[in-house]
Structure 1
Amino acid sequence: MRILHTESSTGWGGQENRTINELVSMRDRGHELAVLSRPGARILERAKELGFPTFAVDMRGAIDLPNILRLRGVIKRFGADIVNTHSGRDTQLAGMAAHTLFRRPRIVRTRHLALPITSKFTYSVLPDHVVTVSKFVENFLVASGVPRERITTVPTGVDFARYDRASMAGHLREELGVSADTLLVGTVAILRVKKGHNEILDAVPAVLQRFPTAHFVFAGDGPQTANLTRRIAVEGLGDRVHMLGLRRDVTNILASLDVFVLPTHQEALGTAFIEAGAMGLPVVATDVDGVPEVVQDGRTGLLVPLQDGAAVAEAICRLLADPVYRESMGRNAAEFVRRVFSREVMAQGMEQLYKRLLERR
């Protein structure tokens, strides 16, 4: 099959990461894949690095006739059997472009987010089928009026070949200039309000009261970078909370941590929890949306109430206080995510769906 992925977002996050993993795993299964996005999009850069054909089209708005024609040209030139769209704008533009072609490709809309939909048209009319990353998102769309028979859930898959705690010690402590036995708590996520970094900062004083030598790290960048940096300075936490910025060495960071924490306010599934679990880390997460599909409370991590810094602190302290407990939980997490959220399982699910749609054509 020839599969073209479209993405109108220029940033980098969980949905772009999933798309890249699908590209690689489907190529491994013998299919031809390409990526189309806006000029300067990070997903184009990553796809090029991995040897995939890429196309840049500036999708300026929902009704953009010149770029619909450009998208039509790319779809036709690539000879796409499947067009998999990932955000609202590219779904509208690429979907309309694909519909103008004779013997058109099948159109799949992948829904990555647990947010209200802005256009039912882009779920019930334009695409032939919708893929959701979790059962929570599937149920959310059904409640919004999208027929369940038009939806298939294919959980996000991760390349676990990169996540081997036994062969990776992690050198973040050396980078920070702290001792080898320092307790390290951290997160890897875009710096947005809804990722819950402020709740982590709410928890820091209580954790330091019980574990005065502990350190915290935030890996990632985003719109809250300046606000979080300012708060850390104002509260005098600069020597214990380290802003690492956007990092490409995520596995090194995870391998260095004792506990992974992300008290997100909304999460369709939570790739960050899958990656942390793959590295054998217990997690502290919020009991919201699709997170319980990834984090088994009391077995692979601890779930806390939404926007509750005190509960975050209590959960972190519970894990830091008992090395045997957290290591056991980390082993459970590694076994669970590798069984359910592998890249190969995701690719198999997507391949079966694509074939089914093409057979109907």
Structure 2
Amino acid sequence: MRVLHTESSTGWGGQENRTLNELITMRQRGHELAVLSRPGARILERAKEAGFETFAVDMRGAIDFPAIFRLRGVIQRFRADIVNTHSSRDTQLAGMAARSIVGRRPRIVRTRHLALPITSKFTYSVLPDHVVTVSKFVENYLVEAGVPRAKITTVSTGVDFARYDRSTVAGDLRAELGLPADALLIGTVAILRAKKGHAEILDAVPTVLQRFPDAHFVFAGDGAQTANLTARIAADGLGGRVHLLGLRRDVTNILASLDVFVLPTHQEALGTAFIEAGAMGLPAVASAVDGVPEVIQDGRTGLLVPVKDGAAIAEALCKLLADPVYRRGMGANAAEFVRRKFSREAMAEGMERLYLQLLEAR
């Protein structure tokens, strides 16, 4: 099959990471894939580095006729069998471009990565031939919003577990930060966006430090909240205890350095970050919200807390930090669980099966 992925977002986050993993694994299964996004998009850079053909088309709005014309040209030139869209703008534009092709047009699949309310039922029920969701939570939400369940398939996000082997990862973040080798390290890897819950982690920090004076926190990622978090850390006098690492490419190194992973997100369709942390054998403190309980088994692979509750986050972190045996056992459970359920091979198999069904129906 020839599959063209489109993405109008220019940043890098969980959905772009999933798309790249799907590209790589589908190529291993013998298919031809390419990526189309806006100029300067990070997914174009990463896809090109991985050896995929890329196309840059400026998508200035949901109704952009020059973009539709150029998108149709790329779809035809690439000879796409499947056009898989990932955000609202590219779904609308690429969907209209693909549907304007006379004759043997490609099948259109929209992947829904988010747990947010949808803004246009048209881009789920009419434009795409099928919708993929990353969790059962998102599938059930779309059904409630009026999208026929027969038109939806859940294919959980998968990651490359070959990268998550502690014996092959340095885990040298303590040395980089100049911290003692036995310092307790709690961290998160996520875009710095308000809904990821970094502010609530900061609410929990004083309580954790009171009980564990040698603990340190690290935030890996960048985003709109960078300035606010920097100011908050300084105002609270936590500059030597909370370290903003910025956007990092060595995520496995960061995870291998941690004792506990924490991400008290306010909304989350599934949570690739939790899968990656679990693969590295880390217990997680997470919010009991949306699709997160599909990844975190409360009391077995991590601890779930109420949304926006700094005190509950602090209590959960202290419970894990206080008992190394309990903490490591939970991390081992997390590794076994995610490797069984969230491999990228399983994701690719699910997507391949759906693509073939759509092409056979055509």
TM band (smaller chain): over 0.9
**Matched-pair identity in %:** 83
Partner residue in 2 for 1:15:
15
For the aligned residues, what is the CA RMSD? 0.5
Report the alpha carbon displacement of residue 169 of structure 1 after superposing the two structures with TM: 4.0
Secondary structure (helix, strand or coil) at the match of 1:130 reads: strand
Q: What CA distance in whole angstroms lies between the structure 2 residues aligned with 1:340 and 1:252?
A: 23
State the number of aligned residues: 361
Secondary structure (helix, strand or coil) at the match of 1:126 reads: coil
1:81 aligns with 2:81: yes
1:122 aligns with 2:123: yes
1:154 aligns with 2:121: no
Partner residue in 2 for 1:132:
133
Report the alpha carbon displacement of residue 316 of structure 1 after superposing the two structures with TM: 0.3
Report the alpha carbon displacement of residue 61 of structure 1 after superposing the two structures with TM: 1.0
1:159-187 Cα shifts (integer Å, max 9, x gaps) = 11100123324000001111100000000
Report the alpha carbon displacement of residue 100 of structure 1 after superposing the two structures with TM: 1.0
Q: What CA distance in whole angstroms lies between the structure 1 residues aligned with 2:316 and 2:331?
A: 15
Stretches of structure 1 lacking an aligned partner (at least 5 in a row): none
- Counterpart AA for 1:55: F
Q: What CA distance in whole angstroms lies between the structure 1 residues aligned with 2:43 and 2:169?
A: 27
Q: What CA distance in whole angstroms lies between the structure 2 residues aligned with 1:134 and 1:178?
A: 38
Report the alpha carbon displacement of residue 328 of structure 1 after superposing the two structures with TM: 0.4
1:11-67 Cα shifts (integer Å, max 9, x gaps) = 000000000000000000000000000000000000000000000000111111111
Runs of 4+ deviating beyond 3 Å: none
Secondary structure (helix, strand or coil) at the match of 1:137 reads: helix
Q: What CA distance in whole angstroms lies between the structure 2 residues aligned with 1:192 and 1:122?
A: 26
Partner residue in 2 for 1:41:
41
Secondary structure (helix, strand or coil) at the match of 2:104 reads: coil
Partner residue in 2 for 1:58:
58
- Counterpart AA for 2:10: T
Q: What CA distance in whole angstroms lies between the structure 1 residues aligned with 2:44 and 2:24?
A: 14
Partner residue in 2 for 1:242:
243
Partner residue in 1 for 2:343:
342
1:95 aligns with 2:108: no
1:168 aligns with 2:158: no
Q: What CA distance in whole angstroms lies between the structure 1 residues aligned with 2:63 and 2:235?
A: 46
1:26 aligns with 2:14: no
Partner residue in 1 for 2:356:
355
Report the alpha carbon displacement of residue 79 of structure 1 after superposing the two structures with TM: 0.2
Q: What CA distance in whole angstroms lies between the structure 2 residues aligned with 1:350 and 1:17?
A: 16
Stretches of structure 2 lacking an aligned partner (at least 5 in a row): none
Q: How does 1:272-291 map to 2 (within 5 A)?
A: 272-291=273-292
Secondary structure (helix, strand or coil) at the match of 1:266 reads: coil
Q: What CA distance in whole angstroms lies between the structure 2 residues aligned with 1:347 and 1:244?
A: 32
Q: How does 1:314-353 map to 2 (within 5 A)?
A: 314-353=315-354
- Counterpart AA for 1:175: E
Q: What CA distance in whole angstroms lies between the structure 2 residues aligned with 1:166 and 1:144?
A: 46
1:207-257 Cα shifts (integer Å, max 9, x gaps) = 000001100000000000000000000110000000000000000000000
1:204 aligns with 2:238: no
Q: What CA distance in whole angstroms lies between the structure 2 residues aligned with 1:183 and 1:61?
A: 47
Secondary structure (helix, strand or coil) at the match of 2:67 reads: helix
Secondary structure (helix, strand or coil) at the match of 2:110 reads: strand
Q: What CA distance in whole angstroms lies between the structure 2 residues aligned with 1:136 and 1:166?
A: 35
Q: TM-score, normalised by structure 2?
A: 0.99
